Amino acid sequence: MKKNHWLTALIGIIAMLFLVAGCGSNSSASGSSKGGKVTLGFSQLGAESQWRTANTKSVQSAAKKNKKINMKFSDAQQKQENQISAIRNFIQQGVDVIAVAPVVETGWETVLKEAKDANIPVILVDRMIKGKNVDDLYSAWIGSDFTKEGRKAGDWLATYMKKQNKASEKLNIAYLQGTTGASAQVGRTKGFAEVAKTHSNWDIIEKQSGNFTREEGKEVMEAFMKSSGDKINVLVSENDDMTMGAIQAIQEAGKTPGKDITIISFDATNDGLQAILDGKMNADIECNPMSGNDVMKTAIALKEGKKVQKKVYVHESLFDIDNAKKNMPRPY
Amino acid sequence: MNQVKQKLKGFMQHKEAWAVIGILIVLLFNVFFSPKFFQISFNNGHLYGSIIDVLNRGSSLVIVSLGMCLVIATRGVDISVGSVSAVGAMVAVFLLKSAGMAAAPAILCGLLAGLACGVWNGFLVAKLNIQPMIATLILMTVGRGIAQIISGGQILTINSKAYAFLGRGYVFGIPFPTIIMILVTLGVWLLTRKTSLGTSIEAVGINETSARYAGISTTQILWIVYIICGLLAALSGMIESANVSSADGNNNGLLLELDAILAVVLGGTSMDGGKFYLAGTVIGALFIQTLTTTIYTFGVPAETIMVVKALVVIFVVLLSTDRVKNAFAKLTERKKAGVENAG
């Protein structure tokens, strides 16, 4: 047993030596920022979905292409403690800018305060954080404008109806919401409602949460079809997964999705665009994971001491039958 | 009149009575507020209507609840059923997608995965004597992890028509899941009521030690119920995943264990083990599904669904408590006395 203890201690010492050596080489790396390079520490929350994987790829390739950027990437595997220790490592290594895609909304005050005290600006990616005075703890946020996405869905529907000379016809809309309270749900619902309010002939007759999953999307749509299947002309569904389930429910009720019922969805996944090509869906509003270039631009601006916008929205498109094919296959 | 009263009294003494009353309450609500609920038509060569939806979507819950019922009868509980259903679905879908397996062997492998989970739970409970809640807690957390590892953390989608039939096929216009549900119910009933297994399960639940002294191999019985429970959980998971042709390690069967336990308890089986009621369990599960479908059809705002569900469940559970039952019995007795006095 005693021998084992010695062995552990030895391994520990060697590991520590490596760590120290690692730190040394890193600090020399950040020293190279004299040559105009910006050292960026990026803490990704993990790889929970294809969307997230696309986001990671976008950040990594943007960093590679950008000659001014030297990026250190850390994957937190969906654990906040991993992200916090990654940020602390970045601070110790003396990086120029830290970017975080936070896994949860709360609990960031302490570690971000440490970054602030070390004069390292922080960029939040995709998700927001909550807490006391957290607004002072980051310099910029880069992500999707969910409310705008919702508005886009409404505007597309208005134009589509106008094209068919049905602008003044009564529209009965069924609305599948995402998980109640999720920022994508709140924003999209709000944005679409804003547009719907301006059309007196639009009526949201069914509205229910499908929790962003196929199963529940299908089950809720089945119920919609039973209670008012003859009336529904439009389905708005807050993500592609729920839409796929809902399309099945519509078909099983003997209606043709995309024809009898105009379908608008969000996310613009590969499955979503395929559904547009198959004529089962009419429009898909993109939720863009490709924020890499925006992150790099903002990081460089921060390092150069320029003023940056507190909220940077990534560019997001809308796909329908006119441009779906050109944009396939999708990265997620 | 008295005869009706006697009959009513006899009915109320059945343990299953309250689940039946629960369903009747919800159906009565539909009679008044959404009469369309009862419309059944023939659409696209199969039965179509809200009631059919209840029997269709409810079948997976019924199947899980039957397994749960047997476990609870041994004074145990299996809180891993939700995760096990996700594992079963993920194994089948993964084999279909990545290994190009045909539907039948893939479904068989899904069942085998469920069986393996049941063996593991049974091992912990029967052999190592770990408390069932703790023992099954392990697989509850690890199961989702396993499903995630198999799929690499992604949602898998497939196009297999044969597999989809499991979840949304029709035989003579009747949903295939409903047929599976009926067969499973029949199977479990035969297994427990036509052999000595049922009595042994109840004996283990009432008093494990005396059951052992009576010559029942309690280890074997415990092992059997957890294996049945795992198998049925995997089957229900595959039905759910076949319904939407995808497997989602994070969300398949989420909180299923709670619905299953609720169905069993509403059906009259006590968490203290002992006597179990299969018919009650089936009705309890269908009650939960009727409630869900009603809420969706009627259009309760998304934010309040949980609260509405909880209120109805609290109401039905309260009705079934001994105190309320006694009060009810007293009330009818007093009325009877009053009638006699007047006479």
Which domains does chain A possess?
35-143+289-314 (3.40.50.2300), 146-287 (3.40.50.2300)
Helix (H) or strand (E) holding A304: none
Distance CA B146, CA B200 (A): 34
Interval B68-83: pLDDT, tens: 999 999 999 999 999 9
Chain B: residue nearest A213 by CA? B251
- Asked if A48's CB is within 8 angstroms of B296's CB, the reply is no
**Residue boundaries of the structural domains of chain B:** 43-328
| Res B51: pLDDT | 93
On average, the pLDDT of chain A sits at: 87
A244 contacts in B (CB within 8 Å)? 157, 244, 246
| Res A249: pLDDT | 95
Distance CA A97, CA A95 (A): 6
| Res A90: pLDDT | 95
pLDDT band at B124 (very low <50, low <70, confident <90, very high): very high
Residue B195 has pLDDT above 50, yes or no: yes
Q: Which residues of A246-268 are buried (b: 16+ CB within 10 A; e: fewer)?
A: bbbbbebbebebbeebbbbbbbb
ipTM over 0.90: no
Interval B240-249: pLDDT, tens: 999 999 998 8
Helix (H) or strand (E) holding B167: helix B161-168
Distance CA A268, CA A236 (A): 14
Residue B218 has pLDDT above 90, yes or no: yes
Show which of residues 3-42 on chain A sit within 8 Å of chain B, judged by CB atoms: none
More confident call, A26 vs B314: B314
- Asked if A218's CB is within 8 angstroms of B243's CB, the reply is yes
| Res B216: pLDDT | 94
pLDDT band at A261 (very low <50, low <70, confident <90, very high): very high
At residue B155, the 3 state secondary structure works out as coil
- The residues facing A97 across adjacent strands are A40
| Range scoring the smallest mean pLDDT among B99-103, B152-156, B268-272 | B152-156
A254 contacts in B (CB within 8 Å)? 43-44, 48
DSSP category for residue A37? P
- Asked if A215's CB is within 8 angstroms of B240's CB, the reply is yes
- Asked if A254's CB is within 8 angstroms of B43's CB, the reply is yes
| Res B330: pLDDT | 79
Q: What percent of chain A has pLDDT above 90?
A: 66
| Res A12: pLDDT | 56
Give the mean model confidence (pLDDT) for residues B95-101: 91
Q: Which residues of A221-237 are buried (b: 16+ CB within 10 A; e: fewer)?
A: bbbbbbbbbeebbbbbb
* Chain B interface includes A183 (CB < 8 A): no
Positive or negative, the CA dihedral A57, A58, A61, A63 is: negative
Distance CA A82, CA B127 (A): 38
Using an 8 Å CB-CB cutoff, list residues of chain B that contact chain A: 34, 36-37, 39, 43-44, 48-50, 53, 57, 153-155, 157, 168, 240, 243-246, 248, 251-252, 292-293, 296-299, 301-303, 305
Residues in CB range of A291: below 8 A, 6 or more apart:
A55, A58, A59, A125, A126, A142, A143, A314
- Asked if A47's CB is within 8 angstroms of B153's CB, the reply is yes
DSSP category for residue A136? G
B301 contacts in A (CB within 8 Å)? 207
Residue A35 has pLDDT above 90, yes or no: no
Give the mean model confidence (pLDDT) for residues A187-199: 96
pLDDT band at A277 (very low <50, low <70, confident <90, very high): very high
Min Cα–Cα distance to chain A from B299, Å: 7
pLDDT band at B155 (very low <50, low <70, confident <90, very high): confident
| Res A8: pLDDT | 62
Verify cis geometry, omega within 30 degrees of 0, for the bond prior to A257: no
CATH architecture of B43-328: Orthogonal Bundle (1.10)
* Chain B interface includes A50 (CB < 8 A): yes
pLDDT band at A285 (very low <50, low <70, confident <90, very high): very high
Residue A291 has pLDDT above 60, yes or no: yes
| Res B126: pLDDT | 95
More confident call, A25 vs A224: A224
Distance CA B231, CA B66 (A): 11
pLDDT band at A133 (very low <50, low <70, confident <90, very high): confident
Residue A34 has pLDDT above 70, yes or no: no
| Res A10: pLDDT | 57
Give the mean model confidence (pLDDT) for residues B165-182: 94
* Residue B313, CA distances (Å) to B11, B283, B294 in order: 21, 14, 14
Residue B253, phi-psi category: left (phi > 0), alpha (psi -120 to 50), beta (remainder)? left
- Asked if A244's CB is within 8 angstroms of B302's CB, the reply is no
Chain A: residue nearest B155 by CA? A49
Interval B19-73: pLDDT, tens: 888 899 899 999 988 888 898 888 878 888 999 999 999 999 999 999 999 999 9
To test the contact with chain B by mutation, choose from A208, A209, A237, A244 the residue with the greatest count of B C-beta atoms within 10 A, namely A208
DSSP category for residue B38? G
Q: What percent of chain A has pLDDT above 70?
A: 89
In what order do the strands lie in the sheet containing A311-313?
Answer: A69-75, A38-44, A97-100, A122-125, A140-143, A311-313
* Chain B interface includes A208 (CB < 8 A): yes
| Res A30: pLDDT | 41
pLDDT band at A127 (very low <50, low <70, confident <90, very high): confident
Burial class (CB in 10 A: 0-12, 13-18, 19+), A28: exposed
| Res B338: pLDDT | 60
Of A48, A208, A227, Cβ closest to residue B302 = A208
Residue A247 has pLDDT above 50, yes or no: yes
Strands A140-143 and A122-125: parallel
| Res B1: pLDDT | 64
| Res B339: pLDDT | 58
Distance CA A121, CA B17 (A): 65
- Asked if B153's CB is within 8 angstroms of A48's CB, the reply is yes
Residue A292 has pLDDT above 60, yes or no: yes
Burial class (CB in 10 A: 0-12, 13-18, 19+), A165: exposed
Of A214, A219, A226, Cβ closest to residue B246 = A214
On average, the pLDDT of chain B sits at: 90
Interval A210-220: pLDDT, tens: 988 999 999 99
A213 contacts in B (CB within 8 Å)? 248, 251
Give the mean model confidence (pLDDT) for residues A115-136: 90
A177 contacts in B (CB within 8 Å)? 302
Residue A61 has pLDDT above 60, yes or no: yes
Interval A77-112: pLDDT, tens: 878 899 999 999 999 999 999 999 998 888 899 999
- The residues facing B46 across adjacent strands are B43
Chain A: residue nearest B241 by CA? A215
Residues in CB range of B210: below 8 A, 6 or more apart:
B203
| Res A20: pLDDT | 47
| Res A1: pLDDT | 45
What DSSP string runs through A84-122?
Answer: HHHHHHHHHHT-SEEEE--SSSS--HHHHHHHHHTT--E
| Res A128: pLDDT | 84
What's the token pair of residue B247? 């497997």
Residue B343 has pLDDT above 60, yes or no: no
pLDDT band at A27 (very low <50, low <70, confident <90, very high): very low
